[in-house]
Structures are given as C-alpha cells and as structure tokens.
Structure 1
Amino acid sequence: MATAPAHVPVFHIRQKVTFAVNRYRVMAAGPDGSEGELLAFAQQKRFKLKEEVTFYADDSRTRALFSFKARNVLDVSSGIDVLDADGRPIGYFKKEFAKSLLRSTWTLAAGGSEARGQERSQLIAVVRRVWKVLPWVGDLPGPFPFHFDFVDTGSGQPVLSSQKRAGLRDRYVVTVPDERLDFRVAAALGVALDALQSR
C-alpha cells in the first residue's frame, strides 16, 4: 500500500504488548467481517513523558504514513494532533477529563467538523474504575469490553464507534459511518482510545 486510504468504513485494531513498547496492527475488514489486509502498523514507546505514536506501512517501519503527537508533556487533555507523513496537521482529539470522572469522554475535530465520544455503558465504565483501584490488579487492563460512540456535535449523526472485543488481548472493531472522516484520523483515535485511556 503506497499511502493510507482516504476512508475505511470498518477496520480492526489488534494490540500486542511487550515490556518496552505497545504494538498495534490496523487491518481492513474482510468481506465476512474478519481481519483482512494490513493498513498500518503503529508502535508506542512506553514510559514516555510526551505521547507520540507513528503509523507505518508495515512492521518493517521503513515508511511512515501518519502519526499523532501530544501537545504537552503528561497531558492528553491539552490536545493531540494527528499529522500526515509530512508533519502537517489533519485532525485533533483530546480527552475531556472533567467529563470523564464516571464515563470517559473525548472530543474529535477533523475535516471541518467536531464530534464527541463517550463510553456507551455507564455500568462498565464504573466497574473498570473500581477494578483499577484493587491492590492486586496493578496495571492489568481487565477483561471488560467497552464501546465508544462518537457523534457530530452539530447534527447528532454518528461519526465513529470503537468496540473492544472480549478476550485476553486488546482487539477492537472500528466503524466509521461518516465518509468525511479521514482514515488516518480514525485509526489514530482508535489506537489512542486504547493507548491513552488510562492517562
């Protein structure tokens, strides 16, 4: 694949955790909904003060396609820019911490429109928070599937949804009904919903 596609209506994200890095494979959905061709490969270095993730054409990491980068150190609420391969901004998102005390809330801006996303289930949101304070759990993510729905703040129309699938490894199905939303922005947000959720 020479460049990232403009719009992908459904894609998968699969995470692999190692000690030093988190790796993400972003794959197209096949005709039957299963994981298909690789669209992008991302790697997040752990323990960094300033969040930055680059997406590559494949796991050889020889050709960068796009990236996202936090504006400030240790503060994803200040905003995260999505950048094209040449470093030009193509979108932006941030976590709304004041609105995320009981249910995580994010704002997304791209292509001249703005959307807000929340965890669909209030119950699962609360259970996840209780899980994180249990002393024997530590940083384990927990076996909780959770779902984010983003809607256009002007029209109320659905823009993007991310569904975490149940299982030991983090896997997501991302649906993008809004054709205006650039795949690069959608993929960056999809990875961020996993990589930065605890920030």
Structure 2
Amino acid sequence: MTVPSGYQPPAPMVVPTFFIRQRVTFMVNRYEIRAANPDGSEGQLLAMAEQKRMKLREEVVFFADESRSRAVFSFKARQRLDVGAEHDVFDEYGQPLGYFRKAFGASMLRSTWHLSAPGIEAVGQERNQFIAVLRRVWNFIPFLNNIPVPFLFHFDFLDTRTGAPVMSSEKRIALRDQYTVTVPDPRLDFRVAAAMAVALDALQSR
C-alpha cells in the first residue's frame, strides 16, 4: 500500500470530544477532564489537572485520577511569568509532545494562540470579536475587576496551511468554568489538546 505524500498518521491518543470542569481550592486550581459519552453526557475521568499558584514559571500537571499519585502529562513555561512565554507539553516520561504560546500583540483585541504538534501548526482565536472587546472593557472597569466575566467565549483553532478546523473550546453556562472541547483533527494528541484547553482558562488573563 502506497502512503500518500505528506500523510500524517493519527496521534497515539485521540479523543474527539471531552469536557473540562474547573475546581477552585486554596492555592491550587484543579481541572477535571472527562470523556464524552455517545449521548453527549459526561463519561469516564481522563485526567485531573493541577495548577499551583504563585509559581515563577507556570506549570500544570495532569494526573491519571483523583488520587493524583501518577502524573501522566504536563505543560511548563520556558520563561518566567512572560505573557508571550512558550509552553512545552510533555508526556509522563518527560518527552515533548508539542508546544503552544500566546501571541501577545494579536491578543490585545482578540486573544490569539499558536499551537504546534507533530504534523500540525494551528492558530486559535476567540470566535466572537464583539465578545472579545466586551471582555476587555469589563476588565478595565475598577469595581468589576474581581467579578468573573459573565460572557461566554469560545476558541477555534485552524490549521495554518489548510484552514481546516483542528480543535475548538466552547465555554458552558455554569457557576464554575466548564468547557466542551472538540478535536476533529485526529493528528492532534489528546494530551496536547487537553493541555491547550486548560491553558485557555488557566492562562487567559496573562
């Protein structure tokens, strides 16, 4: 069988749809990641992510379950508290899976991220320009600074070469931040997609 030129095989771990739910505790942000059942409901736990606050170099570790006894992947910033820092995604053995970074200049009016993984170069932006501007106005009003932004915002990542959708993250209506993440591109490893999706919440204000 002849392999087409430029063919990229599916990633080792492919999860087409999953959900992320934030848990806020003292000094630690946690994220619960669950697969989607065929009927669209939340299914099995895929990973628990933990972000420790007040660290000079941002790092989020993903564990196999709620016991947090086995780290299965992670992402870590290359620079210290830099709004444009590149973040590498690693597997449980410390091998790189991909990386992402926020495009600081382009994000002034509309949050923009660059995502890279084997066979994939993608750019993600807030889907709605109007909502993006409203969020920024909200954050500039002093008495609203400590109140969570009430607007739902979504991100779409497109392949920079073909323009095809790579992944999307849609915020859901809930008391705590919740997201539905879809990954139509089978080349994108679940671990990279999950890291990017959690970063969209954990690092969005950076």
Query: Which TM-score bucket, shorter chain as reference?
Result: over 0.9
| Aligned equivalent of 1:24, options 26, 31, 42 | 31
Shift of 1:135: 1.4
Partner of 1:178: 185
Verify the 8 A CA contact 2:138 2:144 in the aligned structure 1.
Answer: yes
For each residue in 1:78-137, what CA deviation from the matched residue of structure 2 results, as whole angstroms up to 9, or x when unmatched?
A: 300000001111100000001001000000000122000000001110111111122122
| Aligned equivalent of 1:8, options 12, 15, 19 | 15
- Could you state the TM-score of these two structures normalised by the residue count of structure 2? 0.92
Verify the 8 A CA contact 2:83 2:104 in the aligned structure 1.
Answer: no
Partner-residue secondary structure (3-state), 1:75: coil
What is the identity percentage for the equivalent residue pairs of Structure 1 and Structure 2?
66
RMSD (Å) for aligned C-alpha atoms: 1.1
How far apart are the structure 2 equivalents of 1:105 and 1:158? 15
Partner-residue secondary structure (3-state), 2:179: strand
How far apart are the structure 2 equivalents of 1:160 and 1:36? 20
1:143 aligns with 2:168: no
1:153 aligns with 2:160: yes
Partner-residue secondary structure (3-state), 2:184: coil
How far apart are the structure 2 equivalents of 1:165 and 1:16? 15
How far apart are the structure 2 equivalents of 1:102 and 1:134? 16
Shift of 1:140: 3.3
Verify the 8 A CA contact 1:144 1:166 in the aligned structure 2.
Answer: no
How far apart are the structure 1 equivalents of 2:74 and 2:141? 34
Shift of 1:76: 4.4
Which consecutive residues of structure 2, in runs of 5 or more, have no partner in the other structure?
1-11
How far apart are the structure 2 equivalents of 1:23 and 1:76? 21
Partner-residue secondary structure (3-state), 2:125: strand
The structure with the larger Rg is 2
Partner of 1:82: 89
- Could you state the TM-score of these two structures normalised by the residue count of structure 1? 0.95
* Count of residue pairs the alignment pairs up: 195
How far apart are the structure 1 equivalents of 2:39 and 2:112? 31
Shift of 1:141: 2.8
Q: Structure 1 residue runs of 4+, over 2 Å off?
A: 137-141
For each residue in 1:1-34, what CA deviation from the matched residue of structure 2 results, as whole angstroms up to 9, or x when unmatched?
A: xxxx700000000001123111100000011111
Equivalent residues in 2 for 1:1-199 (5 A)? 6-199=13-206
How far apart are the structure 2 equivalents of 1:67 and 1:139? 29
Verify the 8 A CA contact 2:120 2:188 in the aligned structure 1.
Answer: no
Which consecutive residues of structure 1, in runs of 5 or more, have no partner in the other structure?
none
Shift of 1:75: 1.2
The change in CA–CA distance for 1:138 and 1:19 in structure 2 (over 3 A counts) is farther
Per mean C-alpha deviation after superposition, the further-off stretch among 178-187 and 10-19 is: 10-19
